[in-house]
A and B are shown apart, each in its own frame.
Chain A
Amino acid sequence: MEAAVEGRGQLMDYNEAELMAILLSREVRDNEISACGALSHIPAAGLLLAKELHARNAELIILNSVFNPFKTSRQFHFLAQRGELGLFFVSGVQIDRLGNYNLHQLGPDIDKPQARFPGGYGGGMIYYCARRTVVFRTEHTRRSLVEKVDYISAAGSSPPDMIRLGGPSKVVTPKVNFRFDKDASVLRLDTIHAPWTLDDIQANTGFDVGNGPAVVTPAPTPDELNTLRQVVRRKMIATGTYAAWAEKTLATS
């Protein structure tokens, strides 16, 4: 992840984590409350970056950091249930075409898991209550992006008569952005990050990504990269927010 992204003979001057932090930052809106959970280095960087750039009045909640106004998890959960959470970042071991994600277990038999994970925490509620959830995954492969997850920890869509305040809006990986098509309740290819091609994406994705026009993701701007590497990196180190990760991963140019 620290190595520069290489492909098709091109060498870009940012790494995958920096790219993803920048892409996630673009999802943050000004004057909204945006949050990420535990073990969320890249979204934490993305949230702090957005606050420096286009979302100066955004409220940030980075769990397990100084950027968390709450003393108990239920204060955060109740905020989400009241519909006050604009954006949530979450990851999943597996993510499927229908926008379901799996944070529980792997294997075809639900009663005999081959591997178990800590579980969904509040995700089974937050995915339904945050106005938008952006699912991120640092690995874009056929094992992480699947046709159907082995276990649904949180569902991409619900029947129309279910009380639901929000749902998935995008899935961001090191290779593409998917957007969630609410009408069809499926993920659609949104943009492809350079230097990847539609063939690369289909070869590494466990579901049909379609053959629509391959729009290229706008590359990180010098302003985004410099702010991430200078201001955000410094802030993460100074506040102990994934400090070791920030020091190592966010390159100083």
Chain B
Amino acid sequence: MGVPYVPIFGLVGTDLLKKRDDMVIAADPFDSSKKSVVAKALRPDVAIFHAQVADRQGNVSCGYEVEAVMLAEASAHVIVTAERIVDRLTEKEATGAFIPSIHVDSVAHAPFGAHPAGLQGMYAPDKIHMRDYVIASRDDAAFAEYLQTHVHGVTDHADYVERFVPLEWKRPSKAVGN
């Protein structure tokens, strides 16, 4: 949108609002007897997210994830990983949550790049991995070990996919659709 702030409903009286210095209570400029929370615009330096399909020009299609479109528009730089790279997005693919290449700095091919989370229309979250992640996140030592195994101890994305993405996801019949 590019506007400096937006009014938002709710949050008044919550502990969440107390922690946010980018949200304040302000008068309705059209009716000074009414108030609401006003949130300062987020202008990220860099946005990184995973999409369903991108093309060689840097156009991106992310299914129904319209929030990703706003994220790309708001951010100074945008890095996208994509499940699939095609020469040119079709007219059909360039609808819905479509991000034109003008917003995108770089695109990388990363099959199963959302793992262990899911990707709408492609695969559901890896519940077993998610459960292990939650358990590991309970203390610093266990989480350090998780990071060592899954992040620092991995040579590249292909190595990660080979070792941590469930085998049945990689079979052609399972790779598309749930």
Asked if B64 and A125 make an inter-chain contact with CB atoms under 8 angstroms apart, the answer reads no
Contacts of A158 in B (CB 8 A): 12-13
Measured in the bound complex, the distance between the Cα atoms of B33 and A164 in whole Å is: 13
CB of B101 within 8 Å of the partner chain? no
Counting contact residues on chain B (CB < 8 A from A), the size range is 10 to 19
Measured in the bound complex, the distance between the Cα atoms of B16 and A100 in whole Å is: 13
Q: Count how many pairs of residues, one from A and one from B, have CB atoms less than 8 Å apart in the complex.
A: 64
A125 touching B65 in the complex, CB below 8 Å, given contacts A104-B15, A162-B36: no
CB of A155 within 8 Å of the partner chain? yes
Which residues of chain B from 15 to 72 have a CB within 8 Å of any chain A CB? 15-16, 25, 28, 33-36, 64-67
CB of A69 within 8 Å of the partner chain? no
Measured in the bound complex, the distance between the Cα atoms of B9 and A163 in whole Å is: 7
**Contact flags (1/0) for A103-137 with B, using CB distance below 8 Å?**
01000001000000000100011111100000000
Asked if A127 and B10 make an inter-chain contact with CB atoms under 8 angstroms apart, the answer reads yes
Measured in the bound complex, the distance between the Cα atoms of B18 and A104 in whole Å is: 14
Which residues of chain A from 153 to 185 have a CB within 8 Å of any chain B CB? 153-155, 157-159, 161-165
Interface of B is mostly: mixed
Contacts of A100 in B (CB 8 A): 13
Partner of B66, one of A74, A159, A162: A74
Measured in the bound complex, the distance between the Cα atoms of B28 and A158 in whole Å is: 16
Measured in the bound complex, the distance between the Cα atoms of B67 and A159 in whole Å is: 31
CB of A248 within 8 Å of the partner chain? no
CB distance from A74 to the nearest CB of B (A): 7
Asked if B16 and A124 make an inter-chain contact with CB atoms under 8 angstroms apart, the answer reads yes
Measured in the bound complex, the distance between the Cα atoms of B65 and A125 in whole Å is: 20
**Contact flags (1/0) for A51-95 with B, using CB distance below 8 Å?**
000000000000000000001101000000100000000000000
Measured in the bound complex, the distance between the Cα atoms of B8 and A199 in whole Å is: 43
A152 touching B13 in the complex, CB below 8 Å, given contacts A72-B64, A74-B66: yes
